Amino acid sequence: MNKKITIYSTPACPYCKKAKAYLQGKGIAYTDIDVSQDETAQKEMMEKSGTISVPVIDIGGRVIAGFDKDKIEIENEYPHVTFMTGINNIYYIFFKKKYLYYYLLGE
């Protein structure tokens, strides 16, 4: 299931370029907002993420600060995730009262 994706970025940001190229390579549609040219969008991004760093990726209301392929895949593919945490490529994904243990192999 694909959710609405918005990327808050700047033209000079290498991780923004990587995130957009990754989504394009997967055929996932997204809206790109250049926060270097839009002060209102910059404030919106900071309110959502608590950071001034880019990229900030909003996937259906869930916010990822930075470029993390694994989190993008999980947030985009699982529509009922209520909470997700991870360390060392092991992600614990909670669906309401159930959970899924999800292990991602490093590259």
The dihedrals phi and psi of 104, each to the nearest 5 degrees, come to: -115, 125
pLDDT per residue as tens digits for the range 11-42: 999 999 999 999 999 898 999 999 999 999 99
Other C-beta atoms closer than 10 Å to the C-beta of 19 total: 26
Which tens digits make up the pLDDT trace of 35-50? 999 999 999 999 999 9
Would residue 17 be called left, alpha or beta, if left means φ above 0 and alpha means ψ between -120 and 50 degrees?
alpha
pTM, rounded to two decimals: 0.74
Per-residue confidence band for 99, with pLDDT thresholds at 50, 70 and 90? very low
Half-sphere exposure of 77 (CA within 13 A, CB side): 10
